[in-house]
Structure 1
């Protein structure tokens, strides 16, 4: 075999090896692309499943709140109304009038509470109005002094998103009343150019954030609700220096 023939054979072998390498590379690229696509589909499917579960849980909670609202309004409300009428008709002077007045006040607050937890009532009003009513209800109860402030120009938000945002703040306010021993509560709604920021701050006893965050006590509902609507919620607290909720929802 002469030198030219050997060179030709070498070139052919090299060409075949090169083509094999190209084919292997293409097959590997197709395989990796398909693998990554399947992984993305799996991740998206898991997210859709988790979202469906979260939505179902929220729907169940809202339905439970609706039922409780009806029970408060229809059953307990009627009992208090009857008690008020009886107290007004009893001859007892000023004492019975005070009893009737107290029952009447309790009845009004019961109706306000019933409205604040009823999803149908909240659907008919904006986030700002719902927060305004809730702050007013807290002030009437006189457990603490609540303050409410709106900064920026309000923009329209999906009503379903507004309900979730309100429930998050409402849960924080409820926890403040029950556990914080606070004397003041400040709620601020800030409409920024690209986001809605809601801040709730109390001056209560606070808690060890790290310890409770590790256990997830009292935060899971807020986190799940925020995640469902694409918002970010952060609770921070210092023992003896109060607790703060910062809720951020991006505006399209």
Structure 2
């Protein structure tokens, strides 16, 4: 009888299929291991079914489950214990649960580690849902974003330093100079009084009075600018009212503010709202420093597709074409309007006040 090999039905095809499955698993694992991000895949119960090498190599960070054999561990339960900040832990847990239930398709959060006001490292967690046949899975990706956070903080620190330097220059150029000039006027009053020059005493006192009033107005402006921004909290109308009451009213200027139209629509366009506030703020600053105005009128109308703004004062006016006018913030205001795709025009002449018109699209 000739030797033969007996095989069970289907055995000849089962072995290659199992080999292909093993090859596919190795391919998937090799692909995951090649990623620098920390990657894990969860099943519908929140248990880990696959992790990559980066995930295994960094069990110290709060990604919920680590070590050499995390497969099978419940990620959600481990995460609640490893993230010390209850708010962050709850947010991640809730976000992943909503992924599993289908309430959302993706989730993202940033957190510091260790927890506290000054974390040593920052991480970004991103998760999304996918399906294989009838089964639901979640892929969780974590990246170390410490370098990015440090760069962002460096930019904020640099911006804060520039702002402090600007305020220091403003303080020196306005209040400090005004106080120094006041000392000179006081000395002039003393000498005029001693020499019996009553007319010069009155003239110098008037100059001194005007100088001190301007110094007080400049100081109020600087104090207002040092306060935290309130635009995000109360919107454009509230921010302008707070500014006018804190600075202009206390400086003896009577403000008239009118905002009409679809104002809630403006709140939805955050960039437009912010830039318009900066334009108005710059115009008010210029008026306060240079115009000697007693009244200012601010009229803002929000239409369906654009915003129209008019700012007018009854001050001394100026020649917009003069060289000196270029240093009054006009260029900044025009650039802000152009950045929004709009236009800014200034109408003024000596002795007749100033009107600024702005129109930007929504």
Give the Cα separation in 1 of the matches to 2:161 and 2:360.
Answer: 21
Q: Quick one: which of 233, 236, 253 aligns to 1:144? A: 253
Note if contact 1:65-1:118 (Cα within 8 Å) is conserved in structure 2. no
**Contact 1:145-1:184 within 8 A present in 2 as well:** yes
Q: Which runs of 4+ in 1 moved over 6 A?
A: none
Aligned equivalent of 1:190: 301
Q: For CA contacts below 8 A with separation 6 or more, give which structure has more relative contact order.
A: 1
Task: Map 1:7-18 onto structure 2 (within 5 A).
Answer: none
Alpha carbons of structure 1 residues 123 and 116: separation in structure 2 relative to 1, 3 Å: farther
User: 1:148-200 CA deviation, whole Å, 9 max, x = no partner?
Assistant: 11222312342233222111110100110110111110111112232111111
Question: Partner residue of 2:241?
Answer: 132
Query: SS at the partner of 1:185?
Result: strand
In structure 1, distance between residues paired with 2:303 and 2:313: 23
Distance change >3 Å, CA 176–CA 250, structure 1 → 2:
same
Cα distance in 2 between the residues matched to 1:153 and 1:142: 32
RMSD: 3.4
Q: Contact 2:287–2:293 (CA<8 Å) still a contact in 1?
A: yes
5+ long unaligned stretches in structure 2: 1-154, 172-215
Aligned length: 155
Q: Tell me if 1:64 matches 2:175.
A: no
- Go from structure 1 to structure 2 and tell me whether the alpha carbon gap of 1:191 and 1:65 turns closer, same or farther (over 3 Å shift): farther
Q: Partner of 2:327 in structure 1?
A: 217
Structure-to-structure mapping, 1:4-153, within 5 angstroms: 60=159, 64=163, 114=223, 116=225, 120-153=229-262
Q: What do residues 107-133 of structure 1 show as CA deviations (whole Å, max 9, x unaligned)?
A: xx96x9655555643332312221121
Q: Which one has a larger percent strand, Structure 1 or Structure 2?
A: 2
Q: For residues 145 and 62 of structure 1, what CA distance do their matches in structure 2 show?
A: 34
CA distance in 2 between counterparts of 1:158 and 1:120 reads 17
The Cα shift of 1:227 comes to 1.6
Deviation, structure 1 residue 248: 1.1
1:248 counterpart = 2:359: yes
Structure 1 pair 130–172 and aligned structure 2 pair: CA distance change class (3 A): same
Matched position secondary structure for 1:249: strand
Stretches of structure 1 lacking an aligned partner (at least 5 in a row): 1-55, 73-105
Kindly indicate which of the two structures has a greater share of residues assigned to helix. Answer: 1
Q: Deviations over 1:33-87 (max 9, x none)?
A: xxxxxxxxxxxxxxxxxxxxxxx9xx9489727996xxx9xxxxxxxxxxxxxxx
User: 1:218-233 alignment to 2 at 5 Å?
Assistant: 218=328, 219-233=330-344
The answer to whether the 8 A contact 2:248-2:288 is kept is no
**Residues 161 and 151 of structure 1: is their aligned pair in 2 closer, same or farther, counting only changes over 3 Å?**
closer
